[in-house]
Structure formats: C-alpha cells, structure tokens
Amino acid sequence: MIKEELNHNNYLKEIPTCKIRVPANSIRSSDTPEQIELLGQNIKNIGLIHPIYVRQTDEGYELISGRRRLNAARSAGIFTVPCIVADMSDEDALALSLSENIQRKNLNYFEQAAAISTLMKVSSMTQAQIAEKLGKKQSTIANKLRLSAIPDEVKTYLLANDIKERQARALLRLDDPQKMLKAAQYCVKHKLNTAKFDAYVDRLAADKLKEKVKPFFKGLCRDIRLYINSLNHTYAMMKSSGIDTQMETNEDNEKIVYKIVINKQP
C-alpha cells in the first residue's frame, strides 16, 4: 500500500473547511445525506479522530483524502478541521485517496474501477505500477478495469440489487446490453449464487456462439471469424475466472497476430 507516514515535508494544521478545495478527479462518497449527517454529528460530539489529508497548491489547500469526513464536518457546521498537509505528486495523491477508499470499502466496485481508470489517465501509470502502489495483485486491477465496459443501465440494476462483483464480471461474456440486463434479472429472480450464475452465463454465451457459427458452418469451416470469436471467448472466460492472462492483438492487411501470456502464479 502507498506509504502515508509523515516525513519532514509534512505537517499537521487546523484548516478552515471553506479553504479546502475538492479537485474534479476526487473520488466521490457513496454515502447518503443521512449517513453524512450522522457522521457530522459524531464529529461534532467527539471530534475528528483521523485528520484529513490535503496538499498545498498555487490555489490554496486541495483535498487528497477524507472527502466523506470533510462533507460531514461541513454539514455539521464545523468551521475548522485537523489536516495533514502532505507533500505529494498528483499520482501519489490520487493513489492515496483511492487506496483509502478501497481499503475502507466506501466505494462500490464500479466506482473503484472508475477511480483506477482516472489514476491511470492522470499519471500514465501501468496496471502493474498501480497494483504495487495499492498493495493489490495486477490481476485484481485488471479485473476492476474490465467492469467499466458494462453499460450504465446494467450497472444501476446490479448495484440496486446487491449483485456481487464476480457475478457482474461474468456478464462481460455477453457483449449485448439487453442480454446482460436480462441475465442479471434472471439471477435476482432465481436467487442464483455465484457458481450457478457463472454456469448460467456460460450457457448463454455458448448458445450465442452456436448462433454465429450456424450460418456459415459447412464441413471444414474456413471463416476465421469462428476461430477468432472462440479465441476471444476463451480469453474472456479465463480472465473472469481470475486467471492472470494478457492478450495482445496486432493486425495488418495480411495477417492477425495474437500474443497470449498466462501467469502460472495464483
């Protein structure tokens, strides 16, 4: 995990809440207004136990982590809060904010995916570098990022019905939004556990592959779409099963080159 220890450039300071700017890429809180109000009352009664992390910029103080606590303090009418003013780069500041939220599980898995994606964009860090900073496996980071491909309508339904992250990832084997939504609805209606839902999605994906093959399958099939679809499907199944697999594709006018790397480490 990214180091949070104080160094000689960091210091503790009481700062007015109105002087702390929340950056546009700050990770938002999933808490309801009622939860924020309750936390605010707790802070008002016993104080802020964990200081908020900020850094000083040309525009003043900028929030690094502790947005939930800052919002709660403001809602309770608290004018100043204890802050650790840290000397951090853009990527380290966002990594600290992301790490804190993931470890405390204040973000749902789609918000985690969006936060990791933002970190990659603002810092140009690789998945491996982010995994090292956050104390996670690279396969975990890759799996999180894949969730971004799920359409918003499906995301809303999954979260509203408390569907688990692994079940959400299984839907990626269905590249049609309507089929994803119907599969999720089937899962909720029949109260499927993760294993049964995986098997159900596998059946849907296999049926879809058969439908694609049928129109042009005669004897020895020479249509490369069949084999490409099969290869992509196998890769997706391995990824969704938690196998650390990487696939690169290069295509020109004459050929398609696939490079698949499978990590044998668990």
Share the mean pLDDT of the chain: 82
Distance CA 249, CA 236 (A): 14
- Give mean pLDDT, residues 115-143: 84
pLDDT at 134 over 90: no
The answer, yes or no, to whether residue 212 has pLDDT greater than 60, is no
Q: What confidence score (pLDDT) does residue 117 get?
A: 85
Q: Which fold has domain 11-107?
A: 3.90.1530
The residues that bridge with 153 in the sheet, in sequence order, are: none
Q: What is the largest CA-CA distance in the chain?
A: 77
Length of the chain (residues): 266
pLDDT tens digits for range 16-73: 999 999 987 676 666 788 888 998 899 988 888 889 999 998 888 999 888 889 999 9
What is the pLDDT confidence band of residue 120, given thresholds at 50, 70 and 90? confident
Identify the pLDDT of residue 85.
Answer: 93
Q: Which residues pair with 246 in a beta bridge?
A: 261
State the virtual CA torsion across 140, 145, 151, 156 in degrees, nearest 10. 50
How many CA within 13 A on the CB side of residue 78? 26
Alpha-carbon Rg for the chain in angstroms: 23
Contact 141, 116 (CB under 8 A): yes
Query: What stretch(es) of the chain map to CATH 3.90.1530.30?
Result: 11-107
Q: pLDDT band at 171, cuts 50/70/90?
A: very high
Q: Is the predicted pLDDT of residue 79 greater than 70, yes or no?
A: yes
**Residue 83 main-chain phi, psi, to 5 deg:** -130, 145
DSSP H or E run through 52: strand 52-57
Over residues 231-237, mean pLDDT: 77
Which amino acid, one-letter code, is at 15? I
* Higher per-residue confidence, 246 vs 265: 246
For every residue of 223-261, DSSP letters joined together read -HHHHHHHHHHHHHHHHHTT--EEEEEEE-SS-EEEEEE
Give the pLDDT confidence score for residue 3 in this predicted structure: 41
Quote the pLDDT of residue 4.
43
Q: Over the stretch 145-162, which tens digit does the pLDDT of each residue have?
A: 999 999 999 999 999 999
Pair type for strands 20-21 and 60-65: parallel
**Would you give the end-to-end CA distance of the chain in angstroms?**
20
Cα 136 vs. chain centroid, distance in angstroms? 12
